Amino acid sequence: MVLKISPNIKIEYSVKIITYIIGLIGFLSVFKHISFIYSSIFVALSFLAICFDYKKSFHMPRWFLNLTALSVILLSLFRLNLDNLIVPAVEGLLILLSIKFLEEKRFRDYMQVYLISLFLLSGSALLTIDIKFSIYFLIMIFLLTVSIVLLTYYSQEPDLELPKDTILKIVLKSLLIPLISMPMTLFLFVTLPRTSYPFLNFLNRAEKAKTGFTDNVRLGSVSDIQEDSTAIFRAHMEKIDERYLYWRGIVLDYFDGTSWRRSEEEISGEYQLNITGRKITQTVYLEPYENIYIFALDKPYSIALKNLKKHGDLTFTTAKTIDRRIRYEAVSVMSYAITEESINRDNYLQLPEDISPEIVKLSKETASKAESDDQIPIAILNFLSRGNYKYSLQNLPVSKTPLEDFLFKYKYGNCEYFASAMAVMLRAAGIPARLVGGYRGGYYNDMGKYYLVPQKNAHVWVEAYTDKGWIRLDPTPASIEGFVSPHKRDLLFKIRLVLDTINYYWNAFVISYDFEKQLSLFHKIQSGIRKPEIKLFINKEKLIKYLVIPAVLSLSVFMLYVLISGRKTEEERLIALFLKKMERHGYKKGKSEGLEEFVAGMREEDLKQSAHRFVEEFERHYYKDRKFTKEEIKRLKSMLK
């Protein structure tokens, strides 16, 4: 016996597959924000539901699932608190979604699955809106449209089967609905009134990010953050010499023997500073992190941001912890020194009372080798960066005397040890000194014209006070390639940069589109500017290479697929040719008219008999549920002739 495989597909199967995909998208949109336990429960219950649907042997009793769903809702309400409203609600919705999967689904159950999935996607938008949200949103909208159309067929006849070509046509035509709505969506996004006050922020959980930056430096407390490639900020600006890529964040001036911190006097100080040099403007997109300091290229002169406080040491702080992505304009001066007429020398010469005599002795011996007092900082810098000391992140000296162990016993450490050693040695030699914390280097994205600075580039260096003012000194002997982008990178790295470019422009033009930008756009249009000037700062060659060419190729493949899939079959061409011949004789088939009914209405007997023979032969082969053979097509064509 030969097993005959039906070329048709059950509508029920198509609806179920798309429904599970929609639920998966809802899950993926919130995956990184929820606990591992809830993710595991969802995956396990969803897998169980798929098994039940596949075997059709068993379904959970609806009363039991309803009771479980009610328990989940009550638990979620109990877990809600003012500090975190969204995550418990999202986790509860996720479990409700998996419970709906377990039910024997009817029309309303499918619609409930779609609604919960949309709520999950909306919940992810309250947690964070990145480029992934837009991707998930577009996929879900397209799938929902297709699924609802197929669900309409399913609700009328659950056992309905359709040919693959028919289902494909239904899918393609269903996709036209969201495509047609896209221009209107874009128009509403641009024109709908926007508020400058984020009134939904009270719902959001503070999005805390790991960061390599801290407001104190404790020797030996290094973690895997220095291997973390996650971005801390992006700075749109011109490309500059890599030697000047220092991003200033905080100044630390008090040392207790194991750690540095910022003294109260330094925080409250407001001094008259003089810095001259070439000005560099940056547009910075800072990711949320657990502190109040704002970063800009050293030396930052001014930063445009509401409720920002400027300190006398060229650092800037916000009124509260930065828990949302923010955008600001910064102007920095490429200056060799910060000229300050008077300083509190005691503050910058402070040393612990129990400072090691050996460190003091080493400092004075190194300073004595300098030709003049002005050369003392250079002598100490060369001693640390060009001597027997090596840069390392492994097995750092951790003890009650970490600096002494670094200088005399281990002779290796990270930037914290090198900078701390230099600042202490400078102070012991009578040179005022302080630590500056921030970031070093970054990867320049030629396509987007911005620097991408990752967490692992967290860095500390030294500023020494000389007759020229505060000058920057970096004793850390790490290779510059550890902080900046080498000229040659592998393909994976280049792909990451392209994806980061897309994410950057998403943040710049979508997330940052506020009431101020909206007013500016309207004013330009009102002033008679037909095409508002929007500078994208895109390198055209890079854009064509990495975005335009792949996009054109993808579109070409899609169009080719549509053309091939849209081509008529041999059977369709035969019928089209037959109807065309009949039209020449004055007979046109109605849309709802069958072939036999169409032929029966003909008046000429000879034409009627010939047409009937063709239709009879055509239907005899067509209803065998298989493709026509070459011989059958040839015979039918000869009959048409």
Per-residue model confidence (pLDDT) at position 364: 92
Judge whether 288 and 324 are in contact, CB under 8 Å. yes
Q: How far apart are CA 300 and CA 244, in angstroms?
A: 13
**Range 452-477 average pLDDT:** 91
The neighbouring-strand residues paired with 235 are 284, 451
What is the per-residue pLDDT for 270? 47
pLDDT 10s digits, 564-573: 545 567 777 8
Domain ranges of the chain: 8-191, 217-482, 570-640
Per-residue pLDDT tens over the stretch 175-208: 888 888 777 777 766 666 665 544 444 444 444 4
Nearest Cα residue to 445 out of 547, 351, 343: 547
How does pLDDT run across 75-127, given as a tens digit for each residue? 877 877 666 678 888 888 888 898 888 888 888 889 989 999 998 988 887 77
pLDDT exceeds 90 at position 432: yes
For residue 419, give the nearest of 218, 262, 245 by alpha carbon.
218
Three-class SS state of 300: strand
Per-residue confidence (pLDDT) for residue 84, from 0 to 100: 67
User: pLDDT value at position 202?
Assistant: 44
Burial category of 375 from C-beta neighbours within 10 Å (exposed 0-12, middle 13-18, buried 19 and up): middle
- d(CA 351, CA 224) in angstroms, rounded, equals 30
Structure tokens at 160: 């309905």
Structure tokens of 594?
């069958």
Average pLDDT score over the chain: 80
What span, in angstroms and rounded, lies between the C-alpha atoms of 44 and 61?
18
State the Cα–Cα distance between residues 9 and 379, nearest whole angstrom: 81
Query: Average of pLDDT values for 344-351?
Result: 92
Cα 273 from chain centroid (whole Å): 40
Q: Residue 255: what pLDDT? A: 93
pLDDT band at 1 (very low <50, low <70, confident <90, very high): very low
pLDDT tens by residue, 397-414: 778 888 999 999 988 888
| Residue 518 pLDDT level (bands cut at 50, 70, 90) | low
Give residues with Cβ within 8 angstroms of 65, minimum separation 6. Answer: 99, 102, 103
**Sole residue written with tokens 């912890």:** 321
Q: pLDDT category, 563, cuts 50, 70, 90?
A: low
